[in-house]
Structure 1
Amino acid sequence: MPRPHRPARPAGTGLRPLARGAAVLAASLALLASLVGVAPAAPQEADEADVGVQVNAQASLGTLSGTARGVNTAIWDAHMNDPEVADLMKAADVGAMRYPGGSYADIYHWETHTAPGGYVAPGTGFDSFMATARAAGAQPILIANYGSGTAEEAAGWVRYANVTKGYDAKYWEIGNEIYGNGHYGSGWEHDDHEDKSPREYARQVRAYAAAMKAVDPTVKIGAVLTTPGEWPDGVVGTGDSGDWNHTVLPEVADVIDFVSVHWYAGGGDTTAEDALARLAKLPGELREVRSQIDRFAGADSRDIAIALTEINTNTGGSRLTARPNGLFAADAFMTALENGVFAVDWWNTHNGAGQITTVDGETDYGDMGMLSSGACTGDVCEPAPNTPFHPYYGMKMTSELGTAGDTMVAAESTAQDVSAHAVLRRDGRLSVMLVNKDPDTPRTVDLDYAGFTPSATSPRVTRYARGDSDITDVADGEASASRVTVPPYALLTVTLEPRAGTGPGASAAGTPGTPRLDMATDTTARLSWAAAAGATRYLVLERDGAHTRVVGEATGTSVTLRNLPPGSTHTVNVLAADASGRLSAPSSPLTLTTGTPSDAACAVSYHRDTSWGNGFVATVTVRNLSDTPITGWTVDWDWPTEGQSVSSSWSATFHQVGSHMRVTASEGAGPLAPDGGSAASFGFVGANDGPNPDPTAFRLNGTVCSSG
Structure 2
Amino acid sequence: MPTTVGNKEGLVPEASTSRVVIDLDVPGPTISRHLYGHFAEHLGRCIYGGFYVGEDSPIPNEGGIRLDVVEALRALDIPNLRWPGGCFADEYHWRDGVGPKADRPSMVNTHWGNVEENNHFGTHEFMALCELLGAAPYVNGNVGSGTVREMSEWVEYLTRDGDSPMVRLRKANGRDDPWRVPFWGIGNEAWGCGGNQRAEAYADLARQYSTFLRDHGDNKLYRIAAGASDDDLAWTEALLKAVSCLGCGREPNNIFQAISIHYYTVAGTWEQKGSATDFNLDDYYQTLRKAQGIERIISAHSALMDAYDPDRKIGLVLDEWGTWWDVEPGTNPGFLYQQNAMRDALVAGVHFDVFHRHAERLVMANIAQTVNVLQAMLLTDADGGLVRTPTYHVFEMNKGHQDAVAVPTHVVEQPLYDSMELVSASASVKDGRGLVSVSNLDPVAPLDVVLDLRGAAVREAAGRLLTASKPQAYNTVDLAAVAPVPLAVEPEPRGLRVTLPPHSFATVSLVL
Using structure 1 for the length normalisation, give the TM-score. 0.53
1:68 is paired with a residue whose SS is helix
Q: CA deviation at 1:173?
A: 0.9
Instruction: Indicate the residue corresponding to 1:517 in structure 2.
Output: none
- Inter-partner Cα distance in structure 1 for 2:313 and 2:106: 34
Q: Which of 153, 156, 173 matches 1:156?
A: 153
1:420 is aligned with what amino acid?
A
- Inter-partner Cα distance in structure 2 for 1:343 and 1:70: 7
Instruction: Indicate the residue corresponding to 1:547 in structure 2.
Output: none
Determine if the alignment matches structure 1 residue 127 to structure 2 residue 121: no
- Inter-partner Cα distance in structure 1 for 2:108 and 2:481: 40
- Inter-partner Cα distance in structure 1 for 2:395 and 2:487: 23
2:159 is paired with a residue whose SS is helix
1:423 is aligned with what amino acid?
S
Q: CA deviation at 1:70?
A: 1.2
User: Relative to 1, partners in 2 of residues 1:167 and 1:210: Cα closer, same or farther, differing over 3 Å?
Assistant: same
How many percent of aligned residue pairs carry the same amino acid?
24
1:158 is aligned with what amino acid?
V
- Give the structure with the higher percent strand: 1
Q: Which has the higher contact order (CA 8 A, sep 6+)?
A: 2
User: Relative to 1, partners in 2 of residues 1:115 and 1:98: Cα closer, same or farther, differing over 3 Å?
Assistant: farther
How do 1:51-62 residues align onto structure 2 when only pairs under 5 Å count? 51-62=18-29
Determine if the alignment matches structure 1 residue 220 to structure 2 residue 222: yes
Instruction: Indicate the residue corresponding to 1:309 in structure 2.
Output: 319
Whether the aligned pair in 2 keeps the contact of 1:461 and 1:479 (CA below 8 Å) is no
Q: CA deviation at 1:199?
A: 2.2
1:55 is paired with a residue whose SS is strand
Q: CA deviation at 1:63?
A: 0.7
User: Relative to 1, partners in 2 of residues 1:297 and 1:342: Cα closer, same or farther, differing over 3 Å?
Assistant: closer
Determine if the alignment matches structure 1 residue 286 to structure 2 residue 270: no
Instruction: Indicate the residue corresponding to 2:375 in structure 1.
Output: 368
How do 1:67-106 residues align onto structure 2 when only pairs under 5 Å count? 67-76=34-43, 77-78=47-48, 79-80=50-51, 81-106=65-90
Q: CA deviation at 1:61?
A: 4.0
Q: CA deviation at 1:429?
A: 1.9
Determine if the alignment matches structure 1 residue 142 to structure 2 residue 142: no
1:155 is paired with a residue whose SS is helix
1:106-141 Cα shifts (integer Å, max 9, x gaps): 001112126843143664212111112122111111
User: Relative to 1, partners in 2 of residues 1:52 and 1:297: Cα closer, same or farther, differing over 3 Å?
Assistant: closer
Using structure 2 for the length normalisation, give the TM-score. 0.72
Instruction: Indicate the residue corresponding to 1:595 in structure 2.
Output: none
| Greater gyration radius | 1
- Inter-partner Cα distance in structure 2 for 1:57 and 1:220: 32
Whether the aligned pair in 2 keeps the contact of 1:442 and 1:488 (CA below 8 Å) is yes
Determine if the alignment matches structure 1 residue 432 to structure 2 residue 423: no
Whether the aligned pair in 1 keeps the contact of 2:353 and 2:426 (CA below 8 Å) is yes
Mean alpha-carbon deviation: is it higher for 48-57 or for 476-485? 476-485
- Inter-partner Cα distance in structure 2 for 1:479 and 1:68: 32
Q: Which of 402, 408, 411 matches 1:410?
A: 408
1:334 is paired with a residue whose SS is helix
Instruction: Indicate the residue corresponding to 1:388 in structure 2.
Output: 388
User: Relative to 1, partners in 2 of residues 1:82 and 1:313: Cα closer, same or farther, differing over 3 Å?
Assistant: same
1:491 is paired with a residue whose SS is strand
2:355 is aligned with what amino acid?
A
2:438 is aligned with what amino acid?
L
Determine if the alignment matches structure 1 residue 443 to structure 2 residue 455: no
1:485 is aligned with what amino acid?
T
Q: Which of 420, 426, 446 matches 2:425?
A: 420
Determine if the alignment matches structure 1 residue 248 to structure 2 residue 239: yes
Q: CA deviation at 1:72?
A: 0.7
1:287 is paired with a residue whose SS is helix
- Inter-partner Cα distance in structure 1 for 2:185 and 2:366: 13
Whether the aligned pair in 2 keeps the contact of 1:430 and 1:496 (CA below 8 Å) is yes
Unaligned runs of 5+ in 2: 1-13, 52-64, 98-104, 110-115, 161-166, 168-176, 244-251, 275-282, 329-337, 415-420, 470-479
Instruction: Indicate the residue corresponding to 1:66 in structure 2.
Output: 33
1:312 is aligned with what amino acid?
G
Instruction: Indicate the residue corresponding to 2:205 in structure 1.
Output: 204
Whether the aligned pair in 2 keeps the contact of 1:143 and 1:172 (CA below 8 Å) is yes
Instruction: Indicate the residue corresponding to 2:257 in structure 1.
Output: 257
- Inter-partner Cα distance in structure 1 for 2:350 and 2:295: 12
Q: Which of 465, 468, 472 matches 1:466?
A: 468
1:260-316 Cα shifts (integer Å, max 9, x gaps): 111112243572322212233222321222222232346xx5221111100012244
Whether the aligned pair in 1 keeps the contact of 2:15 and 2:445 (CA below 8 Å) is no
- Inter-partner Cα distance in structure 2 for 1:476 and 1:338: 27
